[in-house]
Homo-oligomer: A and B are copies of this chain.
Amino acid sequence: MVGIDEVAERARVSTATVSRALSGRGYVAEGTRARVHEAARELGYVVSAGASALASGRTRNVGVVVPFLSHWFFAAVVEGAQSALQEHGYDLTLYNLSGGADARARVFDDLLLRQRVDAVLAIGLELTPEEAGRLHSLRKPVVGLGGPLPGVPALGIDDRAAVRLATEHLISLGHERIGYIGGSADFDLDFHLPTMRQLGYRDALTEAGIEIDPKIERGADFTLRGGNDAAKQLLGAPRNRPTAIVAASDVMAIGAILAARELGLNIPSDLSVTGLDGIPDGEFFGLTTVAQYPAEQGRHVAQLLIDRLAGLVEDPAPDTASARLENGVAPAATSPTAGPALARELPVELIVRESTARPRP
């Protein structure tokens, strides 16, 4: 591996100047700068991440923690974050919690503490107070996406408003008997979104003066089959069958559409269906949905971190954050930088396709 002194020699400057020229910190004459870059290029020199990290305290690496990857949403977020980070010369080290409790503990007790990362992005996570404490003890920027993080600034879509929007769409079409397929209680442990989404559905009904009927609210597991099973329950009733179904995710909505077909119901004349997510296959099924944009969300949140890192000034008073945390109070912003408050709500969009229409008269 060619080192910095070889570059220095070739460019006829000191190693200090090479470092400055290549990292862009400190003054370097334009000519010198060019010579250094030229020399580095010719030699194929790339700084050693470890040495640079040790000397500077900056790793140019961001840790991204996800509950699992095998889900469109998380994969897309990571991909988005990745591309934003990569553009700025940051690497992305992935931590996955799907390996069970041990793996999870390891991530929070060891891996994240190794000083391998400058910042942490926590995606779709619900942290325990201990885990949040560990994260805080890093004294590094941490931001969350799509999960409630105690004491950590977090972004996400407004799940409640999103489902409400879908439901309102159906109501505005004239539907009054609207079923709901949401998450079962199990899922509420990891994400609170099931609850939030259900509330959004109820909000819309209530506001429109439609009575809530728990009999046409079903829990499922966010899979195709789950949505399909739930829909069959909803649609199988001989009378007073819903004319529309709001599903808490696109995948479940598609399951519902397939269920309707199996039962000989026509979409949308016999049944309207809405989803939430905006997955690529939604278009194929003509699914009306409230789309969110995970790749953009990932980019956005990564960019936020990059900005913080760039403007990083000083640590806050040593004990403020943890003290607040112990009291169970989530301060508005607990990151090392006193940046502007985060825009909490990420955009969603109602996409009307062929799965919704006026109910039969």
Contacts and interface: CB of A to CB of B under 8 A. Distances in A.
A70 to B, nearest CB: 5
Interface stretch (A10-18, A43-51, A183-191, A265-273): A43-51
A273 to B, nearest CB: 16
Interface residues of A, number: 53
A49 B83 contact: no
A344 interface: no
Contacts of A261: 261
Interface stretch (A105-113, A159-167, A329-337, A351-359): A105-113
Interface stretch (A89-97, A122-130, A198-206, A241-249): A89-97
B116 A103 contact: no
B228 A46 contact: no
Q: How many copies does the complex hold?
A: 2
A96 B83 contact: yes
Interface string A64-107: 00001111100110110011001101011111101100010011
Contact of A98 (B83, B87, B95, B107): B83
Contact of A72 (B48, B70, B91, B94): B70
Centre residue among A44, A94, A223 by max chain B CB count within 10 A:
A94
A322 to B, nearest CB: 13
A61 interface: yes
A69 B78 contact: yes
Contacts of A49: 50, 53, 114-116
Given A78-B94, A93-B93, A284-B228, A59 B50 contact: yes
Nearest to A107: B86
B94 A94 contact: yes
Interface in A26-61: 44, 46-51, 53-54, 59, 61
B86 A79 contact: no
A145 B280 CA distance: 26
A302 interface: no
A116 B50 CA distance: 7
A287 interface: no
Contacts of A44: 113, 137
A128 to B, nearest CB: 17
A260 to B, nearest CB: 13
B94 A82 contact: yes
Contacts of A106: 86
A232 interface: no
A281 interface: yes
Contacts of A72: 70
A91 B82 CA distance: 16
A44 B69 CA distance: 29
A220 interface: no
Contacts of A116: 49-50, 61, 91
Nearest to A96: B82
21 contacts: A44-B113, A44-B137, A46-B113, A46-B114, A48-B115, A49-B116, A69-B79, A70-B75, A71-B75, A75-B75, A79-B98, A86-B95, A86-B111, A87-B103, A91-B93, A91-B111, A91-B114, A94-B94, A223-B280, A223-B284, A224-B284
CB-based closest 9 A-B pairs: A50-B53, A46-B113, A49-B114, A49-B116, A50-B54, A69-B75, A48-B115, A82-B96, A83-B99
